[in-house]
Amino acid sequence: MPTDEERQSYRTALEDWQRKLEGIHRLLLDGDRQGKRPDEIKGLLNREARAKEKYDEARRRLLGIDG
């Protein structure tokens, strides 16, 4: 059974990743560039990738397969 801390960590990581993923979707699927420079786009992509990694780590801990 996951601890309260593991559940909260998972929820927080999931919410953060979903927010960043929504930004990627606005950029790539909706074409919402809002004057973003290439370095800003790269930063957006990097932040989403890091958030996904944190989500994956929290998910593994929640499932008990942290390694």
pLDDT for 25-63, tens place per residue? Answer: 999 999 888 888 999 999 999 999 999 999 999 999 999
- What does the block give as tokens for 35? 């004057």
Structural domain count, the chain = 1
Backbone angles phi, psi at 11, to 5 degrees: -60, -45
Q: How much is the pLDDT for 1?
A: 86
Domain range spanning residue 37?
4-63
Half-sphere exposure (Cβ direction) of 15: Cα atoms closer than 13 Å: 6
Q: Output the pLDDT for position 2.
A: 87
pLDDT for the residue numbered 34: 81
For residue 67, pLDDT over 80 is answered with: no
Tokens of 28: 């790539």
Mean pLDDT confidence for 16-28? 95
